[in-house]
Structure 1
Amino acid sequence: MTVAFALRRSRTLLRTTSYSRCYSTPSTVSILGKKYPIDSTTNVTAAIVDKVGRNLYMDPSHPLGILHSLISSHFHDFNSMTGLPPVVTPAQNFDDLGFPPDHPGRAVTDSYYINRDHLLRTHTSAHEVETFARGERKWLLSADVYRRDEIDASHYPVFHQMEGARVFAAGTAGRAELEADNARLAAHLARSPIVIEDVPHLSPTNPAQPAHDPAHAALVAQNLKLSLNALMLTLFGDRAGAGEGVPLRVRWIEAYFPFTSPSYEVEVFFRGKWLEILGCGVVQQQTLDRANVPDNVSWAFGLGLERIAMILFSIPDIRLFWSQDPRFTSQFTAGQITTFKPYSKYPACYKDVSFWLEQNSAGLHDNDFCDLVRDTVGDLAEDVVLIDSFTHPKTNKSSKCYRVNYCSMDRSLSNDEVNAIHARVVTSLVEKFGVEIR
């Protein structure tokens, strides 16, 4: 269910420049040793392919690995799955989860397509139906996921998600299991330093599904809430910075996700402010039916490891997770959450590029430009901002101006070096998109 919980915003469906125009030399894309033919849908770039298989969350001494281990240990009796292949079909990624045909997540502006039949998964839920179909009843699934996105301190085109689900029988036995587990979890939380701002399990705006008995659905929703309140205690209870003896505050909010009902978001009050942590809900029955496990009901949650790790470890820039600088990697030890100590702050250097698009052009999406920058300069770009856009009233030609902030995480960049780097970006822009530099 992570796609429902982690989609950060909706975007307009836009046609992007095809791979054949931007990357005309190769005829195949090689990912993890397998070659895939390219076609007019292909938009995955070399910079993204280079990240496939890194599996940062599987390094026990990496911040993502430390967090992954902490969550896995909390759900110690859940089957924890890792290392699933990142190349999936549109059916796995979208159709099996009930995505409508016009959902923005399907757009080539949002997702990295290898060809029309394959893409890099955009969420761990691409494996959800197959996991339910194997008969898993209590499971965690962790993986690297890929989305075309802007460049800034909190967004990166490769990140890591973790989702969990628990399945209960829809009949009397399932109800008894739920009641017993709810009593156990409630007793644990009653003894714990936590204050919960709750919402009704079911409401007219957050209802049970027609296929579910409302009383049973309410028990499932309660089990979900109790389970995640306990997880919030594990992650944040001793680290909230509120002072000795001050309880952790957790807030539940009604939400809408296409793939769960009822649905919720969870926030914690951490170091003086409310922070969104994850989304969750009762799984749509059609998902379980599609997995051929009817007569069951399930809850699921999904979270982004980077989002939580940046909070817990005080890591200010998402690019740092990919750093191999010993000044970063040596700060972390398996099993320990420690505060990141900045080892340097190098000055930023801004460069602008203004250009005319081809007349009658369908346009150049912001994510096209960000991918070009990443492919050209790697992680030397700290952020990219569109600072001007207009259409000439006489020629009807469109103009855009982007500001690129170049800043290395590991060393100072001279102005001459940045000029040379930026010149490569401008050259690539002209070659791959046929723009006219202003």
Structure 2
Amino acid sequence: MDLAFTKEEQAFREEVRQFLRDNVSPEMWRKIVEGRQVSKEEMVAWWRVLNKKGWAVSHWPKEYGGTDWTSVQHYLFKEELQMYPAPVPLAFGVSMVGPVIYTFGNEAQRNYYLPRIANVDDWWCQGFSEPGAGSDLASLKTKAELKGDKWIINGQKTWTTLAQYADMMFCLCRTNPAAKKQAGISFILVDMKSKGLVVRPIQTIDGGYEINEVFFDDVEVPVENLVGEENKGWDYAKFLLGNERTGIARVGVSKERIRRIKELSLKAESGGRPLLDDPAFRAKLTACEIELKSLELTQLRVVADEAKHGKGKPNPASSMLKIKGSEIQQTTSELLMEVIGPFAARYDEHSDSNNEAMEWTAQIAPSYFNNRKVSIYGGSNEILRNIIAKAALGL
């Protein structure tokens, strides 16, 4: 059962659906449904279609290219993208560094970077985590020293998602080693083509190369690439992470995956009948759906709070959304594995018995393994429970 929205909101939802039907290529749609890799070129081309429509940075202030949508419209737009499914705008640019630049950056930075982010002229990556500074991010050691009109950066970042594609990185660097760890960090923009910067891929458990480690060896960055005030980067990072954790809930992704589970479990058999008719399987699926509906309601409460009070200070509920959203994503990937069974294993692409049906089912096991990460990135769930205890419950 769908939640109650106004007639205007339902009309907006249908407008988004029609736009997706008219503009998402069947080839890219099929790749996403079946878990295949969508190329950088395909994603950029699609995001530029969104930008031409005026929807690439819909949640930004209107003066920077955004829309005047309500919080509910923003929520519906993202959900429809995830449910269709189609690639959502590149979060590192649109949802992370873009809002930091227009909120804390100077006019020159806004004028230069924001149009480029909207049109994906620059592909961004996030330089936060380091060896020994992941969930305890404030322990980072990568340092930036100001020499003349340059920042000289030395250190290492790790788990840097899609850095192999990136043109730019927003990077947290220690600029005052004498200050307490949260107070001596700055937010600096780094050109990935800079001399002394090296990107090395890390193979993940699913066999892919989605993440990387990045090394800085006397990397020179212009002084004007500092965003906001020196040593205030921790404040900007908290602002950014509030946006990231809300996005990680990915209600639409889980809805689409449950739809897929139901579709496939009608075809898969257990004891001579469709798996969907198996009471034990149905109980697990129903429990997951109930959890997802609760998550959706919680996210809508956050949306309503934003509509009433504005974004301003990050809502502690964003940590709850991240925790429960990541758990549901992992549960749905486990249910898909159960539906497909042994066909989820990787196929031998050189085998004579290889066929098209096996090719897409073989993407399910890598997806299952890849989803192990969602309870770690954006702040591990264990750390976020501590944040909820302190910020939301006052313990």
TM-score, scaled relative to structure 2: 0.24
**Which structure: larger Rg?**
1
TM-score, scaled relative to structure 1: 0.22
Identify the structure with the greater strand proportion. 1
